[in-house]
C-alpha cells in the first residue's frame, strides 16, 4: 500500500478521527515545579520565586547547612534545587543519577537571578514539560545565565551528556 493510500484510508476512518481529536484536546493536569532554595539566593529573589504560582516552594536551606545536607534535603523532597553555588556541578560530590534536579543560576543581584530564571523558564518550556512528566528535571543539572544555559543529563545509555545552548 502506498503512503498516499494509507493517509486517505486513515482520514476516512471515523474512529481514528475521534481518537485524533481526543489526543490533541487532552489537557494534562496542572502540576507545580517543586523547588528547594539554597541559602545563597538573594532574599528579594526568594520572595519572587515563592510568589510564582507555577512553583511549590518546599523549603529554604539554613545559612549554616553544608552543601551535602542541602542536596540531600532537596532530593528527599523530590524538589529541584535552585542555587548560585557552582560546587553542585561536581558529579562526584553531588551525583547526577540521584539528583532531583539542580538549577545553578548566575547573577550577582536578585534582579540578575530573577531575570536569568525567567529567560530560562521561558525558553526551555519547563512548566509545560513538568505538566506532562512531573519528574522531567530529575537527574539533570543546568547552569543558567542571560546568554543561555549548559545542560547536563543522563542519556538513554546512562552516560552523562553536556550540551550548551545560547539564546
Relative to beta strand 33-37, strand 55-60 is parallel
CA–CA separation, 128 vs 62, rounded Å? 31
Relative to beta strand 33-37, strand 160-166 is unpaired
What confidence tens digit (pLDDT) does each residue in 30-80 have? 788 999 999 999 999 999 999 999 899 999 999 999 999 999 999 999 999
Q: Is the pTM of this model over 0.85?
A: no
- What crossing angle do the helices spanning 43-51 and 110-124 adopt, rounded to 10°? 30
Provide the CB-side half-sphere exposure for 27 (13 A, CA). Answer: 1
Q: How far apart are the first and last CA of the chain?
A: 45
Report DSSP state, residue 38: -
Work out the pLDDT band at 6, boundaries 50, 70, 90.
low
CA–CA separation, 72 vs 66, rounded Å? 10
Report the candidate in 75, 87, 76 with the shortest Cα–Cα distance to residue 139: 75
Question: What is the per-residue pLDDT for 15?
Answer: 81
Residue 125 grid coordinates? 518550556
Work out the pLDDT band at 3, boundaries 50, 70, 90.
low
What confidence tens digit (pLDDT) does each residue in 109-124 have? 999 999 999 999 988 8
Question: What is the per-residue pLDDT for 161?
Answer: 96
Give domain 33-166's CATH number out of 1.10.3470, 3.40.50, 1.10.600, 3.90.79.
Answer: 3.40.50
Amino acid at each position: 500500500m502506498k503512503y498516499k493510500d494509507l493517509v486517505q484510508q486513515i482520514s476516512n476512518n471515523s474512529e481514528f478521527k475521534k481518537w485524533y481529536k481526543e489526543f490533541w484536546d487532552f489537557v494534562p493536569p496542572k502540576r507545580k515545579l517543586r523547588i528547594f532554595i539554597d541559602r545563597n539566593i538573594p532574599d528579594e529573589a526568594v520572595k519572587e520565586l515563592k510568589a510564582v504560582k507555577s512553583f511549590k516552594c518546599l523549603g529554604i536551606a539554613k545559612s549554616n547547612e553544608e552543601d551535602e545536607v542541602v542536596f540531600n534535603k532537596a532530593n528527599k523532597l523530590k524538589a529541584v534545587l535552585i542555587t548560585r553555588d557552582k560546587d553542585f556541578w561536581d558529579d562526584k560530590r553531588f551525583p547526577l543519577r540521584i539528583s532531583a534536579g539542580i538549577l545553578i543560576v548566575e547573577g550577582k543581584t536578585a534582579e540578575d537571578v530573577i531575570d536569568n530564571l525567567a529567560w530560562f523558564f521561558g525558553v526551555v518550556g519547563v512548566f509545560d514539560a513538568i505538566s506532562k512528566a512531573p519528574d522531567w528535571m530529575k537527574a539533570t543539572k543546568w547552569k543558567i545565565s542571560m546568554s543561555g544555559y549548559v545542560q547536563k543529563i543522563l542519556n538513554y545509555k546512562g552516560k552523562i551528556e553536556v550540551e550548551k545552548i545560547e539564546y
